[in-house]
Structure 1
């Protein structure tokens, strides 16, 4: 395995945490550290703009390739990717770096993890920033069963439960897969809401199969940026990341008894045109997250930190400066 940092990233370090070797990009600086946690199918590289902004501001920041991704280990067992392990990885990262507490900022699946960090390791979490991903209280029943019932077998999270199927489909043409994923919004929220129900269920396998990248004018990444993702996932495959989804039922079962209450300061950043995680999902969060600030980024789709990097960086740095002006690690 190559241990080379991706282009334009800060220094690359490796730590031993929770039984795995984790790759982490580390920005030296002052103040309360911020740990940036990526989603699917992404990498620490997704935070390249924010890491550069933090470096310019002289503020400490870390961004790991999380378990199953990039230069970090990829255990084989599906249950190795449950929420307990994902959170323990991050707590161990702080231990390895000599950091007592940090702010955790997560996007997409990383957002689910950072909210859970506040529940499972509250002594290590100074604050939480959810980018697109709101705090979601524990479901009343098995979430996969609920999704299957409401959205059908083709909905991507349900589809991901089938061993090997989505893994192979996404890996068949990795460049096409990332051209499909990493696009700017193709429609407004109103236009999306007007689609037939079966098109709003995110049947990812069918959508990817039908996608023709020729002439796509909504591409988000430069050729070099896309190549960083494509080369990495061509080497690692997608199974590590998909295994996070294969623990929804396990996570639900094992989270019984954990109170749905985040007591630390929190910031919820929503994206106006994210159809997967729309701003409406964050309504009513104050019931579970009483110390909550909000900001909505106009015109952004799902890949917010890459679509609107300057605004995301500014909002995060401003919030951290306001809420943690006199605090270090």
Structure 2
């Protein structure tokens, strides 16, 4: 049985920081015995929050790490600006660099899942000296592009058309509806036994009433999620899907330079075999962008952090053993 945090777990602190004029909420977990060997930041994706790392936080603390897990912009206790410009990879990387400064360390280990996985690659592009090692779960690296192409052009990303439009915001305005949506995207079937979400379509709103229980989160965990999401609604979380062209413009000059991005710090990439949105095949050829890339795979869907926590934690421990202690916290 893998140890995990519970809602409002007394083993961790919830703190806030002002980062470039925005208030971020974050989980802070410190090792019980002595000075941390290093500091690790964990970055969540959609639709998730810092609590999404509940299976990993206790294990990483047991390795002697200080663990910092922000609610990303738009989510839970963090500010949720209306303007998608606040959600670009560059802006978020700037915010995370400020959080590193706020925590008071000179470098960190950085990990992410889903959108958080996309963030860690961009953070490594913009602030390489702050990162001693990096990992991503599910999300592959994509080089900056010379021509803009919407991700939703790909069949496995068709759901993003719905998410960047108004429908999710308009249809999910109450805690109850948000809870039904979250249950569906976390694998709960409709009362007819059909999926409530698919990568080809998005959310099937007509299947939410009477939805069953998620196999991945308990009722108390789902209630905790729904309560946090209802604080600001779905505009902030879905703003991440409105940043495609903004991110492209930020990276255009780098793409046109002709020099592909190459990462010098050690990286770990863990794929999920049954991930419908981010199948392992998307990562083919990634190796040429890294000096040192370690790969792993788990037999799981997109929610690998929760479905296979013991395997994920083992991969992280094996990867981090060589990094813990290097560039230790000041």
Does the TM-score normalized on the shorter chain lie above 0.5?
yes
Give the equivalent residue in structure 1 for 2:266: 265
Give the equivalent residue in structure 2 for 1:159: 162
Give the equivalent residue in structure 1 for 2:315: 315
How many angstroms does 1:12 deviate by? Answer: 1.1
Q: Paired residue for 1:203, among 183, 201, 225? A: 201
Q: Write the distance in 2 (CA, Å) between the matches of 1:83 and 1:74.
A: 15
How many angstroms does 1:25 deviate by? Answer: 0.8
Give the equivalent residue in structure 1 for 2:141: 135
Q: Write the distance in 1 (CA, Å) between the matches of 2:205 and 2:275.
A: 18
* Mapped pair 1:255 → 2:251: yes
- When you count helix as a share of all residues, which structure comes out higher? 1
TM, length-normalised to structure 2: 0.85
Higher mean displacement: 111-120 or 252-261: 252-261
Give the equivalent residue in structure 1 for 2:105: 99
Give the equivalent residue in structure 2 for 1:13: 15
* Mapped pair 1:278 → 2:279: yes
* Mapped pair 1:241 → 2:237: yes
Q: Write the distance in 1 (CA, Å) between the matches of 2:146 and 2:205.
A: 32
Contact map agreement 1:180 1:208 (CA 8 A) in 2: no
How many angstroms does 1:132 deviate by? Answer: 0.4
Give the equivalent residue in structure 2 for 1:109: 115
How many angstroms does 1:327 deviate by? Answer: 3.6
Contact map agreement 2:199 2:276 (CA 8 A) in 1: no
Give the equivalent residue in structure 1 for 2:182: 178
Give the equivalent residue in structure 2 for 1:23: 25
**Shift in alpha-carbon separation, 1:268–1:208, aligned structure 2, 3 A:** farther
Give the equivalent residue in structure 2 for 1:188: none
Q: Which string of whole-angstrom CA distances, capped at 9 and with x for unpartnered residues, describes residues 199-236 of structure 1?
A: 9752103x3434565456x6211111111111111222
Contact map agreement 2:107 2:327 (CA 8 A) in 1: no
Contact map agreement 2:108 2:132 (CA 8 A) in 1: yes
RMSD (CA atoms): 2.4
How many angstroms does 1:137 deviate by? Answer: 1.5
TM, length-normalised to structure 1: 0.85
**Shift in alpha-carbon separation, 1:208–1:294, aligned structure 2, 3 A:** farther
Give the equivalent residue in structure 2 for 1:67: 73
How many angstroms does 1:237 deviate by? Answer: 0.7
**Shift in alpha-carbon separation, 1:169–1:324, aligned structure 2, 3 A:** same
3-state SS of 2:132 partner: strand
Give structure 1 stretches of 5+ with no counterpart: 186-198
Q: Write the distance in 2 (CA, Å) between the matches of 1:53 and 1:136.
A: 30
How many angstroms does 1:250 deviate by? Answer: 0.9
Q: Write the distance in 2 (CA, Å) between the matches of 1:50 and 1:42.
A: 14
Give structure 2 stretches of 5+ with no counterpart: 1-5, 190-196, 255-259
Contact map agreement 1:184 1:307 (CA 8 A) in 2: no
**Shift in alpha-carbon separation, 1:220–1:212, aligned structure 2, 3 A:** farther
Q: Paired residue for 2:50, among 44, 48, 59? A: 44
Tell me how many residue pairs correspond in the alignment: 305
Q: Paired residue for 1:54, among 57, 60, 67? A: 60
Q: Write the distance in 2 (CA, Å) between the matches of 1:274 and 1:34.
A: 25
Contact map agreement 1:128 1:265 (CA 8 A) in 2: yes
How many angstroms does 1:271 deviate by? Answer: 0.8
Q: Which string of whole-angstrom CA distances, capped at 9 and with x for unpartnered residues, describes residues 120-140 of structure 1?
A: 111111111010001111234
Q: Write the distance in 2 (CA, Å) between the matches of 1:215 and 1:157.
A: 24
3-state SS of 2:252 partner: coil
